[in-house]
């Protein structure tokens, strides 16, 4: 596939932006100014000021002499980059590969995108028309290279779309400034009588390099396509991304569901072919009003099953407010993993003998409904202290390094830290007769024998714990322990857990 690029030139970027914010300036010539080398100069002028002879770089005093009613506004540092990033984010609906081209442009790699708008002519017309309707004075061009598109957008006078392979001829009649050259090199070319690219393009490269330097050769080769130009994209494209532009804005739940199913079908087909599955995926909905709505899902096990993934997104559809309509959907699988072959068999009738996936699916649906941070899976650790004897699992299929203890009972709810209780104990080295916890008195009716848990040998010396399972007069069971021996001066009782 031939690569194709669009260069968009915002001829009055900052002044158009200010006019949108202050409509009264639409009929007023105005400029932005900044102090440069102890001199106040014009950094940008609106079209009315330019029509009366005011240009960028002119001294503000000279400009006011030419246009007495000129309004002077202090320049806002960094405003161009901020505006271009916002406009570039909006343009992602036309191509996933958008780069800022300071100080007043954007570059789009549109390879494989134009057919979605009926061809390159309809594609370019759509972009330019929409930007003009937003209040920006723009020009754009479409060619095989970034450099040629930049040149045609700013200096071309015939047509904005150059057919594949024809960009070298389209550059010939343009001035050297169309090659994005340094002002010193442009001044030297002017003095030597090189007024068009055609006048020097046939000269030997070694001679051009000696006279004008390597940067001159680089810019020339980039425009001709002999040297690849790497774009610094606003949003790096995920390897597993699907896009679905809409011919008409989508406003209904049914339309959103169809769009999600279409995207998932394409994505899951790609993933299945590579033996991979989704762990996290993000759906982005680009609305007509410029807003982007995002919703994400996550899975405990990598999955490339469309039906299951759609059920997860279905839980989020209520959060998607289409308003005037959604014109583009994108689906990005930011995290994918290899799919276990045994796991894939579970989806087929032949795999019915393996462990069911119902638990993983249930956890996925719960996590995407109430939040993944509300669901935890724990694995045993080889530690003695109960609060240190487990760890948080990183995934549903992480294997434990140790086994859970089954020889003695453990509470269904273990407190993060033992809480001190007041007790009455008649016999040494026995469970208490009663205890008071948070102001409530519990009389013990039943108790199991003590379970002594020592510290690990590598820990500092300290008191052991004697744990008891006790039951109060209402049948509620607790896990309590005494720290140290009965006769120890610092012996204390604690509540550490509750049994179901």
Render each residue's pLDDT in the chain as its tens digit; 500 residues.
Answer: 589 999 999 999 999 999 999 999 999 999 999 998 889 999 999 999 999 999 999 999 999 999 989 999 999 999 999 999 999 999 998 998 999 999 999 999 999 888 888 899 999 999 999 999 999 999 999 999 999 999 999 999 888 999 999 999 999 999 999 999 999 999 999 999 999 999 999 888 899 999 999 999 999 999 999 999 989 999 887 788 999 988 889 999 999 999 999 999 999 999 998 989 999 999 999 998 888 999 999 887 888 989 889 989 998 899 999 999 999 999 999 899 888 665 554 444 444 433 456 666 676 777 667 766 667 777 888 788 888 887 877 666 667 777 777 778 889 888 989 999 999 876 777 888 999 999 899 999 999 888 998 887 776 677 889 999 999 999 999 999 998 887 766 678 999 999 97
Which pLDDT value is given to residue 354? 38
Instruction: Determine, yes or no, domain membership for 305.
Output: yes
Instruction: Determine, yes or no, domain membership for 382.
Output: no
Which pLDDT value is given to residue 113? 87
Q: Output b/e per residue, 133-160; b: 16+ Cβ within 10 A.
A: eeebbbbbbbbbbbbbbbbbbbbbeeeb
Whether residues 85 and 209 share a domain: the answer is: yes
Instruction: Determine, yes or no, domain membership for 76.
Output: no
The residue from 236, 257, 279 where one domain ends is 236
Whether residues 95 and 231 share a domain: the answer is: yes
Whether residues 93 and 134 share a domain: the answer is: yes
Find out whether the peptide bond into 103 is cis, omega within 30 degrees of 0.
yes
213 sits in the region (left: phi over 0; alpha: psi -120 to 50; else beta) called left
Three-state secondary-structure class, residue 184: helix
Sign of the CA dihedral with 186 first, then 188, 193, and 199 last? negative
Specify whether the CB–CB gap between 170 and 156 falls below 8 A: yes
The residue from 337, 370, 403 where one domain ends is 370
Three-state secondary-structure class, residue 188: helix
Q: How far is CA 399 from CA 259, 378, 380, 390, in A?
A: 37, 11, 10, 13
The residues facing 32 across adjacent strands are 44, 73
Whether residues 131 and 232 share a domain: the answer is: yes
Distance CA 152, CA 2 (A): 19
Task: Give me the DSSP letters along 101-169.
Answer: ETTTEEEEE-TTTGGGGTSHHHHHHHHHHHHHHTT--EEEEEESSHHHHHHHHHH--S-SBPPTT-HHH
Which pLDDT value is given to residue 121? 95
Helix 358-370 with 306-314: angle, nearest 10 deg: 30
Specify whether the CB–CB gap between 106 and 95 falls below 8 A: no
Whether residues 230 and 264 share a domain: the answer is: no
Which pLDDT value is given to residue 418? 92
Contacts of 266 (CB under 8 A, 6+ apart): 242
Whether residues 210 and 328 share a domain: the answer is: no
CATH of the domain at 104: 3.30.70.270
Distance CA 241, CA 266 (A): 10
Instruction: Determine, yes or no, domain membership for 400.
Output: no
CA–chain centroid gap for 337, Å, is 19
Three-state secondary-structure class, residue 270: helix
Distance CA 43, CA 57 (A): 6
Instruction: Determine, yes or no, domain membership for 37.
Output: no
Specify whether the CB–CB gap between 92 and 235 falls below 8 A: yes
The residue from 193, 211, 236 where one domain ends is 236
Q: What's the total number of domains in the chain?
A: 3
Instruction: Determine, yes or no, domain membership for 321.
Output: yes
Q: What is the DSSP letter of 450?
A: P
The residues facing 469 across adjacent strands are 479
Instruction: Determine, yes or no, domain membership for 160.
Output: yes
The torsion angles phi and psi of 78, rounded to 5 degrees, stand at: 80, 5
Whether residues 124 and 220 share a domain: the answer is: yes
Q: Output b/e per residue, 163-172; b: 16+ Cβ within 10 A.
A: eeeebbebbe
Whether residues 343 and 449 share a domain: the answer is: no
- Half-sphere CA count of 26, side-chain side, radius 13 A: 8
Q: pTM score, two decimals?
A: 0.65
Whether residues 322 and 362 share a domain: the answer is: yes
Specify whether the CB–CB gap between 276 and 339 falls below 8 A: yes
CA–chain centroid gap for 104, Å, is 25
Which pLDDT value is given to residue 145? 96
Task: Give me the DSSP letters along 359-412.
Answer: HHHHHHHHHHHH-GGG---EEE-S-SSGGGSEEE-SSTTPPPSS----SS---S
Enclosing domain of residue 145: 1-11+81-236
CATH of the domain at 309: 3.30.1490.100
Whether residues 93 and 227 share a domain: the answer is: yes
Closest CA to 188 of 220, 159, 211, 165: 211
Whether residues 135 and 226 share a domain: the answer is: yes
Three-state secondary-structure class, residue 350: helix
Q: Output b/e per residue, 255-279; b: 16+ Cβ within 10 A.
A: bbeebbbebbeebbeebeeeebbbb
Which pLDDT value is given to residue 397? 65
Specify whether the CB–CB gap between 140 and 11 falls below 8 A: no
Whether residues 207 and 98 share a domain: the answer is: yes
Distance CA 489, CA 475 (A): 32
Instruction: Determine, yes or no, domain membership for 45.
Output: no
């Amino acid at each position: 596939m031939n690569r194709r690029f669009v260069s968009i030139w915002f001829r009055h970027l900052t002044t158009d932006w200010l006019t949108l914010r202050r409509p009264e300036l639409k009929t007023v010539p105005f400029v932005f100014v900044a102090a440069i080398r102890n001199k106040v100069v014009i950094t940008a002028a609106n079209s009315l000021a330019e029509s009366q002879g005011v240009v960028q770089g002119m001294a503000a005093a000279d400009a006011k002499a030419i246009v007495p009613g000129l309004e002077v506004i202090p320049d806002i540092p960094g405003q161009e980059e901020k505006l271009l990033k916002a406009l570039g984010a909006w343009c992602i609906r036309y191509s996933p590969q958008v780069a800022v081209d300071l100080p007043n442009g954007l570059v789009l790699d549109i390879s494989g995108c134009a057919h979605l708008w009926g061809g390159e002519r309809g594609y370019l017309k759509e972009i330019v028309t929409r930007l003009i309707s937003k209040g920006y004075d723009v020009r754009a061009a479409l060619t095989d290279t970034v450099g040629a598109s930049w040149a045609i957008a700013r200096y071309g006078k015939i047509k904005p779309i150059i057919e594949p392979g024809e960009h070298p001829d389209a550059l010939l009649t343009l001035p050297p400034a169309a090659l994005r050259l340094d002002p010193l090199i442009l001044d030297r070319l002017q003095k030597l009588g090189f007024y068009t690219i055609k006048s020097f393009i046939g000269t030997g490269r070694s001679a051009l390099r000696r006279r004008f330097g390597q940067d001159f050769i680089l810019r020339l080769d980039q425009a001709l396509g002999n040297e690849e130009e790497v774009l610094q994209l606003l949003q790096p494209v995920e390897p597993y991304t699907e896009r679905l532009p809409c011919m008409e804005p989508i406003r209904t739940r049914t339309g959103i569901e169809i769009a999600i199913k279409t995207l998932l079908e394409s994505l899951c087909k790609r993933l299945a072919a590579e033996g991979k599955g989704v762990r996290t995926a993000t759906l982005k909905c680009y609305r007509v009003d410029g807003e982007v709505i995002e919703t994400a899902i996550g899975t405990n096990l990598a999955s490339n099953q469309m039906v299951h993934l759609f059920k997860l997104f279905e839980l989020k559809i209520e959060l998607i407010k289409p308003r005037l309509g959604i014109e583009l959907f994108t689906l990005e699988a930011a995290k994918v993993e290899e799919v276990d072959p045994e796991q894939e068999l579970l989806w087929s009738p032949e795999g019915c003998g393996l462990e069911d996936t119902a638990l993983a699916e249930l956890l996925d649906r719960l996590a995407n409904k109430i939040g993944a941070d509300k669901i935890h899976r724990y694995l045993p650790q080889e530690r003695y202290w109960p609060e240190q004897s487990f760890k948080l699992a990183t995934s549903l299929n992480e294997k434990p390094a140790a086994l859970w203890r089954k020889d003695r009972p453990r509470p269904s709810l273990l407190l993060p830290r033992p809480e001190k209780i007041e007790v009455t104990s008649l016999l040494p080295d026995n469970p208490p007769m009663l205890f008071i916890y948070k102001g409530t008195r519990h009389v013990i009716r039943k108790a199991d024998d003590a379970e002594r848990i020592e510290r690990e040998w590598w820990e500092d010396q300290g008191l052991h714990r004697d744990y008891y399972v006790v039951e109060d007069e209402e049948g509620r069971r607790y896990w309590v322990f005494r720290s140290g021996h009965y006769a120890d001066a610092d012996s204390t009782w604690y509540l550490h857990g509750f049994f179901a």
